[in-house]
């Protein structure tokens, strides 16, 4: 007998849509482009040949349409791994739970998620404008620690090596390492993207080593992050969602990858705050390759 998901656990609105995203099951495609900024959804959808629906609630904007024969949903997540917990759980429910019986469907669907985001570059080969594909994400956010079977889906050896290298303070919570889907990585990340590890932070300032008026717990953490090397790869970038995207997708049986454009180079102390037009090129590459 399948588990019954009670009204309080799986919240369905009176129009049959899921609680936060306001999407109904039939409105979501199996290929999903995740972006942080709701405005970026329209940038993605501007390339669609046809659009079938546009839905908004809070920071969550969704447009489903056809791009060169492929049905794709562009979905904004807002900022942070806490929002990714909502978006991935609700999208998984839309695909894999029967809303009438409130039970999991007998045949589960595997969705494809590609996050197209912005990030901070941490290496000499990641100046502003670089596209980075996250091979694995080191989550400083803690989200995946709340789910069972975390160790089965995370790279525990890399986590240990990282914690030793930086002298990780337990008071900062336990980081976890979530790998991207290998097939999707090879499909999307051609020679025009740098591959590396991404640190996904639970904040833009302190967790990414940006100190304004409040001192940091470990002012040398960024230097140690920049010098960490494992299996021939370095930590290339900071952003705020990739660990939860990869981690939850792995736990749920979906495929996920994060590709970001560097808008701030933390080594050179340079920033491109007018990036909104230039991210279009990365969006088209991902649309063509997904």
Of residues 97 and 283, the one with the C-beta less far from ligand R1P:
283
- Provide the minimum distance between the beta carbon of 96 and ligand R1P in the complex, in angstroms, as a whole number: 25
Segment near ligand R1P (CB under 6 A); pick from 15-23, 65-73, 131-139, 239-247: 239-247
Of 99, 147, 204, 275, the one binding ligand URA by CB under 6 A: 204
Tell me the per-residue interface mask from 28 to 67 with ligand R1P, x by CB under 6 A, - otherwise.
-------xxx------------------------------
CA distance 92 to 15: 19
Phi-psi bin for 164: left (phi > 0), alpha (psi -120 to 50), beta? Answer: alpha
**85 scored as a contact of ligand R1P (CB under 6 A):** no
Query: Distance of CA 176 to CAs 151, 241, 245, Å?
Result: 9, 13, 12
Segment near ligand URA (CB under 6 A); pick from 113-121, 125-133, 161-169, 211-219: 113-121
CA distance 272 to 136: 25
CA distance 174 to 191: 33
CA 288 to chain centre: 19
Of 28, 45, 240, 257, the one binding ligand URA by CB under 6 A: 240
CA 273 to chain centre: 21
Of 79, 161, 172, 216, the one binding ligand R1P by CB under 6 A: 79
User: Nearest to residue 180, comparing CAs of 282, 266, 248, 91?
Assistant: 248
Give the residues lining the site for ligand URA (CB under 6 A): 118-120, 204, 208, 238-240, 263-264
């Amino acid at each position: 007998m399948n588990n019954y998901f009670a009204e309080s656990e799986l919240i369905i609105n009176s129009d049959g849509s899921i609680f936060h995203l306001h999407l109904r099951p039939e409105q979501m495609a199996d290929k999903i482009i995740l972006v942080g900024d709701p405005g970026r959804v329209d940038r993605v959808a501007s390339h669609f040949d046809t659009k079938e629906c546009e839905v908004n609630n809070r920071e969550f904007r969704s447009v489903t349409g056809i791009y060169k024969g492929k049905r794709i949903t562009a979905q904004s997540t807002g900022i942070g791994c806490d929002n990714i917990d909502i978006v991935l759980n609700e999208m998984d429910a839309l695909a894999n739970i029967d809303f009438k019986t409130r039970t999991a469907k007998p045949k589960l669907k595997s969705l494809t998620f590609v996050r197209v985001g912005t990030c901070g570059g941490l290496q000499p080969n990641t100046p502003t404008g670089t596209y980075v594909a996250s091979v694995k994400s080191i989550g400083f956010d803690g989200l995946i620690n709340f789910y069972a079977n975390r160790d089965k889906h995370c790279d525990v050896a890399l986590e240990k090596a990282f914690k030793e290298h930086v002298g990780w303070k337990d008071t900062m919570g336990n980081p976890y390492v979530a790998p991207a889907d290998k097939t999707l990585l090879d499909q999307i990340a051609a020679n025009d993207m740098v591959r590396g590890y991404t640190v996904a932070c639970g904040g833009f300032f302190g967790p990414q080593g940006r100190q304004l008026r409040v001192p940091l717990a470990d002012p040398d953490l960024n230097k140690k992050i920049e010098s960490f090397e494992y299996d021939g790869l370095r930590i290339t970038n900071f952003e705020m969602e990739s660990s939860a995207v990869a981690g939850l997708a792995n736990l749920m049986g979906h495929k996920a990858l994060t590709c970001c454009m560097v808008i701030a180079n933390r080594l050179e102390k340079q920033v491109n705050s007018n990036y909104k037009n230039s991210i279009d090129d990365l969006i088209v590459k991902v649309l063509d390759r997904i």
